[in-house]
């Protein structure tokens, strides 16, 4: 069981094992000041669901998850994909229950930080407080960047932008930015990009025909990062 719990992140030439290197939150520092429990979530299972009582934040240690908003009338929207170092549940701070779903797309290992205790720890460790605030702000900036892309870019460029963003995040974690396996289906990408899955599929096919990428189902290779960057209006220099 537990031995089989190795999240399937392939293509990791330089994996880092220290979360401390991440700007977000330092798990060891957290453990010094509060109870941190480990939780494992199998692919397809919920970390938390809309309406469940909110009592903790979650720091992704390994694996891959998506967060979804949903409405009473059945509309659904993927609001983000989360990986190692990302903090989940922050959108429910100040509320009694969670307001969205978090679903594992791959077997995942999560550090659970009981919520009121987190605030107490922050009171005693100023640096921790600053980091928590910064993590929330980073979340806001991420959402704002998404808004900008969705509102101003056509379909194909949204897809290109998505691939570049994913690549950059993988690179920060020490994985290959040029060759990776998508852990989500076309429908999830489409929802996230406010498109339909057929459109995402067509965009990927077209980017491949242009020679910018190579795609075979969920395996993606970025062949011409400069071309992708210029496509979405970014400077062509690496990173």
Partner DNA sequence: CGGATCTTTGAGCGGGGTCAAATTAGGTGG
Partner DNA sequence: CCACCTAATTTGACCCCGCTCAAAGATCCG
**In this chain, which of 29, 129, 201, 214 binds DNA, going by CB under 7 A?**
201
Q: Which does 155 bind (CB under 5 to 8 A by kind): DNA, a copy of itself, none?
A: DNA
* Contact stretch for DNA (CB under 7 A) within 7-15, 101-109, 112-120, 189-197: 189-197
Q: How far apart are CA 149 and CA 151, in angstroms?
A: 5
Restricted to residues 145-184, the positions that interact with DNA (CB under 7 A) are: 154-156, 182
Query: What is the token pair recorded at 139?
Result: 């979340």
Does 74 participate in binding DNA (rule CB under 7 A)?
A: no
Q: Does 204 bind DNA (CB under 7 A)?
A: yes
Give buried/exposed letters for 34-73 (b at 16+ CB in 10 A, else e). bebeeebbebeeebbebeeebbbbbbbbbbbbbbbbeeee
By CB under 8 A, name the binding residues for a copy of itself.
69, 71-73, 75-77, 79, 90-95, 99-100, 119-120, 122-123, 126, 129-130, 132-134, 136-141, 143-148, 150-153, 191, 194, 233-235
Tell the smallest beta-carbon distance from residue 150 to a copy of itself (Å). Answer: 6
Distance between CA atoms of residues 21 and 205, nearest Å: 36
Q: Is 30 left (phi over 0), alpha (psi -120 to 50) or beta?
A: alpha
**CB closer to a copy of itself out of 43 and 119:** 119
Nearest-approach distance from CB 33 to DNA, in angstroms:
41
Please list, in sequence order, all residues whose beta carbon lies within 8 angstroms of the beta carbon of residue 92, skipping any fewer than 6 positions away: 54, 98, 99, 100
Please tell me the distance from the alpha carbon of residue 60 to that of residue 169, in angstroms, as a whole number: 14
Residues in binding contact with DNA, number by CB under 7 A: 22
């Amino acid at each position: 069981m537990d031995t089989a719990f190795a999240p399937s992140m392939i293509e990791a030439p330089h994996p880092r094992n220290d979360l401390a290197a991440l700007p977000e939150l330092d798990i060891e520092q957290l453990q010094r000041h509060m109870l941190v429990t480990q939780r494992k979530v199998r692919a397809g299972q919920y970390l938390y669901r809309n309406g469940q009582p909110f009592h903790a934040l979650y720091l992704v240690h390994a694996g891959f998850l998506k967060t979804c908003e949903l409405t009473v009338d059945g509309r659904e929207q993927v609001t983000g994909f989360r990986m190692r170092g990302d903090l989940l549940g922050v959108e429910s701070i100040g509320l009694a229950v969670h307001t969205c779903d978090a679903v594992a797309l791959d077997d995942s290992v999560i550090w659970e930080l009981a919520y009121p205790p987190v605030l107490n720890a922050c009171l005693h460790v100023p640096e921790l407080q600053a980091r928590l605030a910064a993590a929330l702000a980073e979340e806001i900036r991420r959402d704002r960047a998404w808004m900008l892309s969705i509102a101003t870019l056509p379909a194909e460029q949204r897809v290109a932008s998505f691939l570049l963003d994913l690549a950059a995040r993988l690179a920060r974690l020490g994985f290959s930015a040029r060759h990776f396996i998508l852990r989500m289906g076309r429908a999830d990408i489409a929802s996230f990009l406010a498109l339909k899955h057929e459109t995402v599929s067509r965009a990927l096919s077209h980017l491949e025909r242009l020679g910018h990428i190579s795609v075979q189902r969920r395996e993606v290779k970025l062949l011409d990062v400069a071309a992708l960057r210029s496509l979405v209006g970014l400077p062509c220099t690496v990173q």
